[in-house]
Amino acid sequence: MPKPTRTRRRTDATVDRRESILDAALECFVLRGFHGTAIPEIAKGAGIAAGTIYHYFPSKEAMVNALFRKWKGEIAQRVLTAFPAGAPVRDQFRVMWRTMTDFALSHPRAFAFLELHHHQDYLDDESRVMENNLKDFGALMVMRAQQEEQVKPGSTALLMELVFGAFIGMMRAHWDGRVELNADQQAFAEQACWDAIALHRP
Amino acid sequence: MPKPTRTRRRTDATVDRRESILDAALECFVLRGFHGTAIPEIAKGAGIAAGTIYHYFPSKEAMVNALFRKWKGEIAQRVLTAFPAGAPVRDQFRVMWRTMTDFALSHPRAFAFLELHHHQDYLDDESRVMENNLKDFGALMVMRAQQEEQVKPGSTALLMELVFGAFIGMMRAHWDGRVELNADQQAFAEQACWDAIALHRP
Amino acid sequence: MPKPTRTRRRTDATVDRRESILDAALECFVLRGFHGTAIPEIAKGAGIAAGTIYHYFPSKEAMVNALFRKWKGEIAQRVLTAFPAGAPVRDQFRVMWRTMTDFALSHPRAFAFLELHHHQDYLDDESRVMENNLKDFGALMVMRAQQEEQVKPGSTALLMELVFGAFIGMMRAHWDGRVELNADQQAFAEQACWDAIALHRP
Amino acid sequence: MPKPTRTRRRTDATVDRRESILDAALECFVLRGFHGTAIPEIAKGAGIAAGTIYHYFPSKEAMVNALFRKWKGEIAQRVLTAFPAGAPVRDQFRVMWRTMTDFALSHPRAFAFLELHHHQDYLDDESRVMENNLKDFGALMVMRAQQEEQVKPGSTALLMELVFGAFIGMMRAHWDGRVELNADQQAFAEQACWDAIALHRP
DNA sequence: AATGAATGAGGCTTCATTCAT
DNA sequence: GATGAATGAAGCCTCATTCAT
């Protein structure tokens, strides 16, 4: 039984088309960046006329922001949903790492778009807010781990950024074909990053 | 014996102007990216006419490649020069980390341009080769450290990319104002990254 | 015997909708001109979908011509209906002036559209013919007045155009807020225009 | 001996080209209006590439405003220069009328552009100010004539607008081929308009 | 060598019109 | 009839590049 989709103006066909535009845009933006991508390229990728894009987005900037928010929201939601609230910190870290890895491997272009490109130029305020949601969550986890004395005392933000950076570096190397990422490698990397922040006591 | 500089003599004035163009370009590219920057903007930044740029670079693409190589070469040379060949691995790591930090802090725009932007689109083959010089060097160091059993056994490339990624993440957070980077913080981050790859024995 | 209205019957609803389209178009054309007005704007003003307009008019040009003819016909009909055929010329002039003033004041947008805009671009032949109906009638009146030696001998057309132009100038100044138009002012202007053409004898 | 033209950046060639653009634009705007004219049409008329226009005007709107001010200023200057300050009012009126007629006949397109089109849409504030300069001057003349009891008492603005409107009506009829304008006709029309506002005493 | 006006292709966006629903 | 999504030509404007001075 199909659920009575949405308000009205967004029929299934409308949503599908909108998504296909976002997909095509993602493909282009990852390859050539926002400024390097022409609207007709995206339209061709989505199999529609250039003008049609403007039925779904008022401008190229609005489109890139919608794309950014779509995927930034998606990844944040996955991490938050998967997070094992009551589990030991070490497990929380592992789950979070795995969730992000799973996402990045199953949506490589989305991840590349989100994390490998500089967006300062065209993101609006709402998007900028989302930018930091995930990091804020990660910082919270690190901070609690510090309180439990399982993670080094010191700048929470710095530790979190190191781990996040390492994760992105790993993924970038993967896309570029410089490192494989089988299950062992993933676990190995995860452990290394934990070691980076873990409090090592005698 | 230094070879007699290229096909044609380059006067000091010529070199200076060329550099001022590259500086202006750097400024623009960091802010708006390659595709988002117009040649006249760069010319204005350099205090010259737009047409003059074409006396120094045959095209916008050639210019961005020259810029990329200039700074990628600069950072590589610094790291190589500073590298303490005979010192213990732990010291080598520290020196390398510090050298890169010093560079990134004293040339923030150059570092941002090199590491925070996606260049796939316009880099030529020669630039692409340079892209990996530093990482190759880092990988070599890690490999030797593995042989000395001071760094975890496993994928050398992966370990190196994690450290590099963490470094970039730290720097990005610094530019964005999310973390401070005083001497203590720098040392703290360096130690954390060493812990990530170090072989912890009982 | 009136012919049985065109090829197809027009229901009241059809006529109403057609009128509401013309009203909305009038509003837009006065503000931004024909070329400056988009069909969807008119549709929105009429509270219908853009495509619907094409059930009533085959094209934007056809619509603007219909609009022009509607109002040009309306004003002509009023003047002709009100015209006191047997009255003295001075009275005829006064009635005609008043009729036009009444129309212009009660349908300001229609008058502005008709007389304050340049239509050369898009009017078809049929509309162009109507353009001059009123002036021809005015010219006829002036000519008879000349025959009665109450109006200066000389170019009938020129006298008529002067009066018409003065009338339009007065109205334009009124729309623009530069002159008030109470009953006294209207009478004052009418007298001035009569003086312009009247034959003043010693 | 050529005078040392202008500041610098406006060389003779530059000025000429700018003028040729304005001339071409005038031609187009008179025929099809501002919104009905495409930049490439103007460029073709001026014999240059479309992009070149943007070296002389930052936008189409800026261009139409420059055009408006150029001609509005020209006509105002002519009228003011020709005005016989100490002469009898009747002569002042005649001179002003003739000056405007001469201008309108020798620059028909400029006059048509200025007075036969609706500009509300795209004129900026500075242009709007110029719009009324000439009328203000005319109103002043009328007011003094009223003080001398040679022109009817009553709304100065209204009288002036009637005359101005009559003048425009005459010119429009001339362009449209409905009235000739030889010297006799011009004098005839001028006298008629004077009669419109003159105070007729027994 | 330096300039900056000129070019014209190409970018983003609008819009009259069509057509499947 | 009514709708409004879709189209694609065309509009305004930008910009890498050239070239006469």
DSSP state of B119: -
Average pLDDT of the residues of chain A: 93
What are the residues facing A151 on neighbouring strands? A198
| Confidence (pLDDT) at D202 | 60
Neighbours of chain B (3+ CB pairs under 8 A): A
What are the residues facing B151 on neighbouring strands? B198
Which domains does chain A possess?
A: 1-57 (1.10.10.60), 64-197 (1.10.357.10)
Using pLDDT thresholds of 50, 70 and 90, give the confidence band for residue C6. very low
Chains C and A touching, counted as 3 or more CB pairs less than 8 Å apart: no
Q: How many CB atoms lie within 10 A of CB B144?
A: 14
Q: How far is CA A177 from CA A173, B30, B148, C20, in A?
A: 6, 26, 27, 65
More confident residue, A3 or A12: A12
| Confidence (pLDDT) at D13 | 76
- For residue B31, the distance in angstroms to the closest alpha carbon of chain A comes to 7
Average pLDDT of the residues of chain C: 93
Taken in order B31, B37, B41, B45, the sign of the CA dihedral is positive
- CA D13 – C1' F21 distance (Å)? 13
Which of A29, A160, A191, A195 is most worth mutating to test chain B (most B CB atoms within 10 A of its CB)? Answer: A195
| Confidence (pLDDT) at C12 | 74
Task: Report yes or no: B193 and A162 within 8 Å, Cβ to Cβ.
Answer: yes
Q: How far is CA B13 from CA B20, B43, B66, C178, in A?
A: 10, 17, 18, 65
- For residue D117, the distance in angstroms to the closest alpha carbon of chain C comes to 6
Alpha-carbon gap, residue C103 to C75, rounded angstroms: 7
Task: Write the pLDDT tens digit of every residue in A110-164.
Answer: 999 999 999 988 999 999 999 888 999 999 999 999 999 999 999 999 999 999 9
| Confidence (pLDDT) at A10 | 57
What is the distance of C-alpha A78 from the center of its chain? Answer: 10
Contact A166 B195 (CB under 8 A): no
Task: Report yes or no: B91 and B84 within 8 Å, Cβ to Cβ.
Answer: yes
Task: Write the pLDDT tens digit of every residue in C176-187.
Answer: 999 999 999 999
Q: How far is CA C188 from CA C65, C147, C160, C182, in A?
A: 35, 26, 18, 10
Task: Write the pLDDT tens digit of every residue in D50-85.
Answer: 999 999 999 999 999 999 999 999 999 999 999 999
Rg over CA atoms, chain A: 19
Full-model pTM: 0.89
Residues of C in contact with D158 (CB under 8 A): 170, 173, 179, 185, 188-189
pLDDT over threshold 60, residue A54: yes
Tell me which residue has tokens 């980390």.
B97
Task: Write the pLDDT tens digit of every residue in C8-33.
Answer: 456 777 888 999 999 999 999 999 99
Task: Write the pLDDT tens digit of every residue in D152-186.
Answer: 999 999 999 999 999 999 999 999 999 999 999 99
Amino acid at A125: D
| C23 CB below 7 A from strand E atoms | no
| Confidence (pLDDT) at C14 | 82
Alpha-carbon gap, residue A180 to A171, rounded angstroms: 10
Task: Report yes or no: D139 and D69 within 8 Å, Cβ to Cβ.
Answer: no
Using pLDDT thresholds of 50, 70 and 90, give the confidence band for residue A7. very low
| Confidence (pLDDT) at D10 | 58
Task: Write the pLDDT tens digit of every residue in D78-122.
Answer: 999 999 999 999 999 999 999 999 999 999 999 999 999 999 999
| Confidence (pLDDT) at D34 | 96
Task: Report yes or no: A186 and A166 within 8 Å, Cβ to Cβ.
Answer: no
| Confidence (pLDDT) at B131 | 87
Point out the residues of chain B with pLDDT beneath 70. Answer: 1-10, 202
Alpha-carbon gap, residue D54 to A195, rounded angstroms: 60
Question: Which two tokens mark B6?
Answer: 């290229």
pLDDT over threshold 80, residue A178: yes
- For residue D11, the distance in angstroms to the closest alpha carbon of chain C comes to 36
Question: Which two tokens mark B30?
Answer: 């960091």
Q: Specify whether the backbone of D33 is left (phi greater than 0), alpha (psi in -120 to 50) or beta.
A: left
Give the number of beta-carbon pairs within 8 Å between C and D.
138
pLDDT over threshold 50, residue D5: no
Rg over CA atoms, chain B: 19
Task: Write the pLDDT tens digit of every residue in C84-116.
Answer: 999 999 999 999 999 999 999 999 999 999 999
Q: What is the 3-state secondary structure (H, E, C) of A75-107?
A: HHHHHHHHCCCCCCHHHHHHHHHHHHHHHHHHC
Number of residues that make up chain B: 202
